[in-house]
């Protein structure tokens, strides 16, 4: 459950009843693309048993493009992954600076300086070498997130006397609806991490079951949270729902959000640096031949994310543009395309139709997001 969840009530403000349907549909689609992506890692051996013959998203892409160019698919996927992961890291730094400046408004420090301070606290990230440490930090991140959700929902339940279903929209504006689609879909995205996650599971056979349950609970939590918050504030719902809270709760929640943003940073940071280091060392992924060089790669990444967070103007619009391209590609376009390419002869007619439908839907979402983002950038400039 990422920071995007806090924008779901705002998404309902513009999508109305269709937003509730979208939350359920997005869960089903992202769960499906996660499964077909992992199925691309496996092939049947002579005995008809499934064997894991690929390890990463890159390996799947290379297998699909080997007739055209043995490395082309992997290069495209790696570039897409790294761009999205870097943008995610930058977003966490921007959010951290914003939250610190709002939490301590009387301290004469600019938002950019707060981002630098936040980055300094993240320096230990350059020494992380295993996914196990990242998983512990992510567990703490989840705990903090549930505290935030609990605080918001508890306050909303105290206002239950003023709830009204009349606050929901029946008619929607197309541009506003597209914003809602982006927020809802990208609150579920996890495909970048799935091959690594499945490969690190003690029992990979339970992956599909795990994916079903996590997406089911995510869907229930998102729907409940978005509904209770929107019914409480209605038309006054803000982009980040915590801004609607009374001032005495806002500071506490902002500090929790800051903790969550800092604890969320190591996962995309670790994933991005692992991809880059693996490419540089020609696939020598598990054995760091030169620890100093690996440290230099991670240190450079940390500095790069800080510089971009400080100096890129109109970051939110650029994030939207990047997310529309990379997010839709990694979540919908590539998994369905790879599945069709690698498993075409073994897929049933319905499975082929499902993959093609997901591809078309992903393409339309990506195209609409690009148009809206470019339109916003042109208006700004």
Confidence at 311, pLDDT banded by 50, 70, 90 = confident
CATH number of the domain residue 215 falls in: 1.20.1740.10
* pLDDT tens-digit map of 160-201: 998 888 878 776 777 777 777 777 877 788 888 898 889 888
Distance CA 296, CA 6 (A): 35
Instruction: Give me the sign of the Cα torsion angle 147, 151, 154, 156.
Output: negative
Q: How many domains does the chain have?
A: 1
Would you say the C-alpha torsion 54, 72, 288, 122 has a positive or negative sign? negative
**pLDDT for 86 beyond 80:** yes
Q: Looking at the predicted structure, is the pLDDT value of residue 154 above 90?
A: yes
In eight-state DSSP terms, residue 206 is G
- Return all residues near 203 (Cβ < 8 A) that are at least 6 apart: none
Domain extent, residue 148, equals: 2-380
* Average pLDDT, integer, range 126-144: 88
- CA 343, 344, 349, 350: dihedral to nearest 10 degrees? 40
Q: What is the DSSP secondary structure assignment for residue 129, as one 8-state letter? A: -
Res. 68: pLDDT tops 90: no
pTM listed for this prediction: 0.82
Read off the tokens for 30.
């992202």
Give Cα separations from 98 to 124, 149, 258, 278 (angstroms).
22, 20, 9, 34
Check the CA dihedral 59-61-67-69 and report its sign: negative
Highest mean pLDDT among 57-71, 176-190, 203-217, 364-378: 203-217
Contacts of 145 (CB under 8 A, 6+ apart): 1, 5, 260
- Tell me the per-residue pLDDT of 258-285, one tens digit each, with 9 for 90 and over: 999 999 999 889 988 888 887 777 655 4
Q: What is the pLDDT of residues 31-49, one digit of tens each?
A: 999 999 999 999 988 887 8
For the chain, list the strands marked E by DSSP: 42-44, 50-52
């Amino acid at each position: 459950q990422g920071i995007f969840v806090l924008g779901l009530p705002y998404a309902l403000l513009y999508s109305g009843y269709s937003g509730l349907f979208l939350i359920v549909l997005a869960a089903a689609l992202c769960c499906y693309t996660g499964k077909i992506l992992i199925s691309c890692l496996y092939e049947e051996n002579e005995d008809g048993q499934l064997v894991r013959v690929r390890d990463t998203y890159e390996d799947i892409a290379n297998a699909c493009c080997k007739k055209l160019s043995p490395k082309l698919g992997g290069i495209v996927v790696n570039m897409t992954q790294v761009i999205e992961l870097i943008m995610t890291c930058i977003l966490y730094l921007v959010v951290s600076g914003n939250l610190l400046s709002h939490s301590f408004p009387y301290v004469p420090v600019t938002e950019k300086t707060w981002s630098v301070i936040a980055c300094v606290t993240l320096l230990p990230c350059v020494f992380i070498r295993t996914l196990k440490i990242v998983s512990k930090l992510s567990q703490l991140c989840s705990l903090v997130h549930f505290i935030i959700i609990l605080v918001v929902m508890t306050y909303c339940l105290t206002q239950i006397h003023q709830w009204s279903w009349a606050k929901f929209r029946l008619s929607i504006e197309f541009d506003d609806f597209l914003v809602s689609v982006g927020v809802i879909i990208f609150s579920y995205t996890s495909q970048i991490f799935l091959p690594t996650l499945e490969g690190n599971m003690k029992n990979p056979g339970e992956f599909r079951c795990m994916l079903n349950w996590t997406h089911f609970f995510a869907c229930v939590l998102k729907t409940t949270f978005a509904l209770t918050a929107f019914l409480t504030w209605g038309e006054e719902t803000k982009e980040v729902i915590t801004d609607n809270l009374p001032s005495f709760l806002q500071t506490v929640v902002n500090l929790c959000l800051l903790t969550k943003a800092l604890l969320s940073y190591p996962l995309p940071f670790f994933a991005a640096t692992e991809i880059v280091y693996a490419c540089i060392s020609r696939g020598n992924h598990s054995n760091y031949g030169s620890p100093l060089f690996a440290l230099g790669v991670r240190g450079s990444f940390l500095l790069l994310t800080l510089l971009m967070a400080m100096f890129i103007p109109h970051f939110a619009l650029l994030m939207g543009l990047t997310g529309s391209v990379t997010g839709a590609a990694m979540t919908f376009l590539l998994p369905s395309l790879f599945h069709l390419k690698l498993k075409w002869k073994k897929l049933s007619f319905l499975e082929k139709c499902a993959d093609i439908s997901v591809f078309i839907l992903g393409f339309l979402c990506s195209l609409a997001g690009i148009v809206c983002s470019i339109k916003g950038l042109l208006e700004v400039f």
